[in-house]
Amino acid sequence: MGYNRKKQPEQVQRALLECAAKIAADQGISGVTVQAVADSAGVTKGGLFHHFPSKQALLDGMVDALLEKLDVEIDSSIAEDSVPHGSFTRAYVKSVFVGKAFGFETPWSTLFMAVISDPILRSRWAEWFGKRLERHKATDDDETLHVVRLAADGAWLSYVTADAGTAELELDRLKEHLLALTQKGL
């Protein structure tokens, strides 16, 4: 009689997505192969294809899971913010500037690297971001706030593509400066 393992599809699917995200963070999106993810999650390629019919479906699922985490983080930050004007932008900046890691070993790193390198994933990001901007139009539809969001994105990209020796203090000052700009004109 064969081994009869209790099936836990949600757990397996979550493990596959987490393994894909870890591989993407460590090796870039090109390192996310079906075999690498299956091996990392301890399942067969057939098991992976049971949950995700293609590599693109796996990548889409990975980005969707990361965007869900980002939604929770941003919504939590907005809920704690007592000033409505710029609350989404402040939450966005806080999510980008994540302490010592500043984008490394965080959902941001995986998400940004994925959307930078894959046009399909980039369109998923653009759709998510567009919906967030529409949702927060009443509080964050302001030219200065737009510039602040772009500056946060640019700071992240500059940090990951330049000398990683950028001082944490410099990043902290930049974060505080961007957050202060969201308060201007109130």
Q: How far are the Cα atoms of 16, 50, 108 from residue 159, in angstroms, in the given order?
A: 29, 38, 13
Using 50, 70 and 90 to split pLDDT, how confident is the model at 15?
very high
Hunting for tokens 């004109």 — which residue is that?
185
Using 50, 70 and 90 to split pLDDT, how confident is the model at 134?
very high
Using 50, 70 and 90 to split pLDDT, how confident is the model at 7?
low
- The answer to whether residue 136 is domain-embedded is yes
Q: Rounded to an integer, what distance in angstroms lies between the CA atom of residue 103 and that of residue 97?
A: 7
- The answer to whether residue 127 is domain-embedded is yes
Q: In CATH, what number is assigned to the domain containing residue 95? A: 1.10.357.10
Region 19-38: mean pLDDT is 90
CA angle 150, 112, 17 (to 5 degrees): 150
Q: Rounded to an integer, what distance in angstroms lies between the CA atom of residue 32 and that of residue 22?
A: 9
Number of structural domains found in the chain: 1
Q: How far are the Cα atoms of 36, 56, 128, 157, 168 from residue 173, in angstroms, in the given order?
A: 39, 39, 28, 17, 9
- The answer to whether residue 86 is domain-embedded is yes
- The answer to whether residue 4 is domain-embedded is no
Give the domain range for residue 61: 9-181
Between 86 and 96, name the one with better pLDDT: 86
Q: Tell me if 148 sits within 8 A of 115, measured CB to CB.
A: no
